[in-house]
Structure 1
Amino acid sequence: MSELEAVARKPEGPPRIPGARAVRPRDAATLIIVRRDGPRPRVLMGKRHGGHNFMPNLWVFPGGRIDRADFRAPHATELKPDVAATFNAHLKPGRGRALALAAIRETFEEAGLLLAKSAEPRPAAGPWREFLAQGALPDLEALDVVARAITPPMVGKRFDTWFLMAEAERLMSLERRPDCGELEEVAWVEFDDALALPLPAVTRAMIKEAVARLEDAARPKPFLRFRQGAMRPAHL
């Protein structure tokens, strides 16, 4: 059984209440940041707090749900044409950019790292206030699409998640803000060591996908979704 088939067969999260309608998945994005300044590549991972009702004590990539403010947040660079084309093939105009901005914002909130370009600090309200106060604007050009996965309808908490990837050299600094939000621990971990951590099945699959993509950037991008009564891995 492939890693993607394993994800499809064992969806994670609280089960849907019997007889209840399927929960509509919430749009989300997560960021896989790869660091190559050592003998072997490392990936940024964070441990979720044990008090969470969704994936407690598991190691994940930083990321989270889209916010309305992400649709109008300022940015220093635009998405690369191929990344924008992938988003636009599946989403309404502007939604892909908002998801990319959500991933960058959440990475700052959860891991204290800025995937951004230097800029004049500017006042703002809402979830972008602290980010923009750092003298930074999001660097959308740094992002690539790795995969997309939609939690199946039998799970009570669902997400439509886009997995994005960026190189750590595009971060403004490797020094992070000490307050890491939802993530209890944050670490740069070699890929083999990351696979030994307690992980959600989808995170394990995406670590392996990231490794494969580092070797072949042109490989097809997985799309996991529930169709015709089963999770059927496809491609974007």
Structure 2
Amino acid sequence: MGQTHAWFRRSEKLTQVLDKTAIRDASTVILLRDAATNPSVLMGQRGAKAAFMPNKFVFPGGAVDAVDAEVPVARPLPAICADRLCQQADATRAQALVAGAIREVWEETGLILGQPGQWPTPAPEGWGDFAASGHLPSAEGFHFIFRAITPPGRPRRFDARFFLVEAENAIGDLDDFSRAEDELSHLQWIPISQARQFNLPFITEVVLAEVMGLIEQGLPPASVPFFNNSRDVSEFLRIA
């Protein structure tokens, strides 16, 4: 296992150096608050100098790191979500996608998706502060709801999996972002009915429509939409 991860790290770093447009795995989290009364989602604004989607309001998320595959997850994904995620990724990569989602929420918002507990081994690079909070990452309440690959021609390309998580699963004050890093500014809970007033990427608008449908229909989704732009011809698929 250690040799596999070491190879993955070297391969990932080499790919990033040689080709900035190589498709990288990414995880995005839609934190949903007050779903039954006034559904709102947590979003923040990317910087004007960001290489990918500058100035856009986005959900917390980002590229998955190789070490994310080594992180212990206290509670795994619900079985149906894990099965769908593993249709497109092996079990190790699926775990990395979940852990990467939790890490990105922590880094970009300061909120903890986890449960109290001690790590069985020292936390890997990038996870020290999360571990120091006294929590283990947890996928409780996670739902895999969307997948999209960035179209060709963009300065960065990602194979992004979107997870919907009700905000009640986050530990701490939902309005306290003081522990967040500076990747996103203007962090706020935005009512979905008002979200289109903000500067959103197209894919975010599509995902928001999906979220509204799921609020009405319930979870888990009957299938997971997949915008496959891995080649020149775009495909719209469903992961059942």
Q: Please tell me the TM-score bracket, short chain as reference.
A: 0.7 to 0.9
The C-alpha deviation readout for 1:130-163, integer Å capped at 9, x for no partner, is 1111111111132101110011223332100001
Shift of 1:37: 7.5
| Equivalent position to 1:108, from 101, 106, 111 | 106
Aligned residue for 2:140, secondary structure, equals helix
Counterpart of 2:150 in structure 1 is 151
Could you say what secondary structure the match of 1:94 adopts? Answer: helix
Q: Residue 24 of structure 1: CA displacement?
A: 2.5
Label 1:22 to 1:176 Cα distance change in 2 as closer, same or farther (>3 A).
Answer: closer
DSSP-derived class of the 1:53 partner: coil
C-alpha displacement of 1:110: 0.5
The equivalent residue for 1:230 is 233
TM-score (norm 1): 0.85
- The Cα offsets for residues 69-121 of structure 1, whole Å up to 9 and x where unpaired, read as 10111222111111110111111222111101101101110111111112247
Aligned with 2:85 (options 84, 87, 94): 87
Structure 2 CA distance, aligned partners of 1:149 and 1:188?
24
After superposition, the C-alpha distances for 1:172-215 in whole angstroms (9 at most, x for unaligned) are 11233343330012101100111211001011111111111121
Instruction: Report if the CA contact (8 A) 1:28-1:99 is conserved.
Output: yes
1:49 maps to which of 11, 32, 47: 47
Amino acid at match of 1:190: P
Matched-pair contact (CA < 8 Å) for 1:113–1:177: no
Q: Secondary structure at the match of 1:110?
A: helix
Q: Matches of 2:116 and 2:231 in 1, distance apart?
A: 48
The change in CA–CA distance for 1:207 and 1:125 in structure 2 (over 3 A counts) is same
**Which deviates the most, 169-178 or 41-50?**
169-178
Identical-residue share of aligned pairs (%): 34
Which AA in structure 2 matches 1:212? G
Q: Which runs of 5+ in 2 are unaligned?
A: 1-18
Is contact 1:225-1:232 (8 Å) kept?
yes
Confirm whether residue 182 of structure 1 aligns to residue 183 of structure 2. Answer: yes
- Tell whether 2:101 aligns with 1:129: no
Deviation at residue 62 of structure 1 after TM alignment: 0.3
* Structure-2 separation of matches of 1:233 and 1:22: 25
CA RMSD of aligned residues (A): 2.1
Give distance in 1, aligned partners of 2:165 and 2:188.
16
RCO comparison, higher one (Cα < 8 Å, 6+): 1
Deviation at 1:38, TM superposition (A): 8.1
Counterpart of 2:48, as a letter, is G
1:205 aligns with 2:206: yes
Q: Secondary structure at the match of 2:87?
A: helix
Letter in 1 for 2:226: F
Distance 1:30 1:22, change over 3 A: closer
Three-state SS of the structure 1 residue aligned to 2:91 is: coil
Report the AA paired with residue 85 of structure 1.
Answer: D
Aligned residue pair count: 216
* Runs of at least 5 residues in structure 1 that lack an aligned partner in the other structure: 1-20
> Is the partner of 1:230 in helix, strand or coil?
coil
Query: What residue in structure 2 maps to residue 140 of structure 1?
Result: 139
Instruction: Sort the Cα spacing of 1:37 and 1:27 in 2 relative to 1 into closer, same or farther, 3 A.
Output: closer
